[in-house]
Amino acid sequence: MKRLLALLATCATILGLTALYGPQAVAAAGCKVDYTVTSQWQGGFQAGVKITNLGAPVSGWTLDIAMPDAGQKLVQGWNATWSQSGSTVTAVGVDWNRALNTGAAAEVGLVGSFTGANPKPTAFKLNGVACTGSVGGTPSPDPDPEPGDDGTPVGINGQVHVCGVHLCNQYDRPVQLRGMSTHGIQWFSQCYNNASVDALANDWKADLLRVAMYVQEDGYETDPAGFTSRVNGLVDMAEARGMYALIDFHTLTPGDPNYNLDRAKTFFASVAARNAGKKNVIYEIANEPNGVSWTAIKNYAEQVIPVIRAADPDAVVIVGTRGWSSLGVSDGSSESEVVSNPVNATNIMYAFHFYAASHKDSYRSAVSRASSRLPLFVTEFGTVSATGGGALDRASSTAWLDLLDQLKIGYANWTYSDAPESSAALQPGTCDGSDYSSSGVLTESGTLLKSRISTPDNFPTS
């Protein structure tokens, strides 16, 4: 919504590339690779590759995979720069995962083809050092246990679904998911790395990460494959920490989602097929429709949802509403247009957005009324004005958060970033470091949101 200083952020990103590629990779003294074939079909397969650094920290990494059959060929990959020479497939870390501390892991993946057998590779080298799963010959424990082993949101709740007007967990009990939204990943990719997502999961104790992938504004339409890969990478990062990932197809200008219908079908067909086996993915198919009728939005939704359902029949889908996802209130309408003419699909929710300094009692009244008729999710909100700037409105923000807690409506705050605007949770320059939690790096808005999100969830299990 109303993103300030995007041009400055873009310039900062470009200027930062020199620093990004400056550090040279060093040899790792020990490493472990988990290679898992996640699906296979005639002549093709998909594999996930988890690289764990057991040695000294590295500032850049290259993984060589010795493919055991000459007929195995790389088709494409994600979360790394991929290539193949002879029987060796190589993955090189990219900006958000190239640094690996001791015990840290990077999760990448590939799609390949084969003509004979498809045996799993067993020989891997990280920066030229063989990955044996040990340092000095001593087997090492898994430093990154699977989600669910430690009471994470996904581990407790499993695959969520819509029941009545609520989002419910695997025990058919209503749950409220609370978390943060990224800023545009084309501008602030440096803010989303292992340290920042660790902080969000462990210190903020967030339940979800909303991944804001702009379609226009230097976003998806400029590099569909690259942005799809980046989204998938953030889904994996959230999954590894037991958080839900809300994939946001961030349409803003133009406001009619039908302008991007073909792009939406292509994008969601890809991410739904790739992530169908995951329990942590929720799809938001149109961020903020504006200047368009509810009927047009509904028609768009009824064409995109079947594309997702064809690959991922169980995931929750969130549909944007009229007037910048205000249930029509910002256009002088009300929730009644959705109540009387709902999207013809199941397991869906409707988006509501607000900015606390601009949207007050009349908007809260609409949410209160609608909550008994429609399943709602606040996929984006700010504690400031609708421009993304201005002073924090503590009274209105608190009134909103209290209402959402009371109604068990989930939310994602705009934004988990160090953007130079008061809606950002982090002080400018924070994403150049590794501290995403202490009081010194939080803005006034970030301090308020961290204090609310980090309170216990108390998810029901019976």
Catalytic center residues: 288, 380
The CA distance from 283 to 310, in Å, is: 14
Hey, what amino acid is at 399?
Answer: A
In which residue are the tokens 């057998």 written? 117
What's the rounded Cα separation, in Å, for the pair 419 and 429? 9
Q: Which residues pair with 247 in a beta bridge?
A: 211, 283
DSSP H or E run through 37: strand 31-41
CA distance 124 to 126: 7
Strand order in the sheet with 73-78: 31-41, 44-53, 105-113, 73-78
Question: What is the DSSP code (8-state) at residue 23?
Answer: S
**Cα(375)–Cα(212) distance, integer angstroms:** 21
**Other CB atoms within 10 A of residue 187 CB:** 26
Any idea what the Cα angle at residue 301 is, between residues 295 and 304, rounded to 5°? 145
C-alpha 350/C-alpha 347 separation (Å) is 11
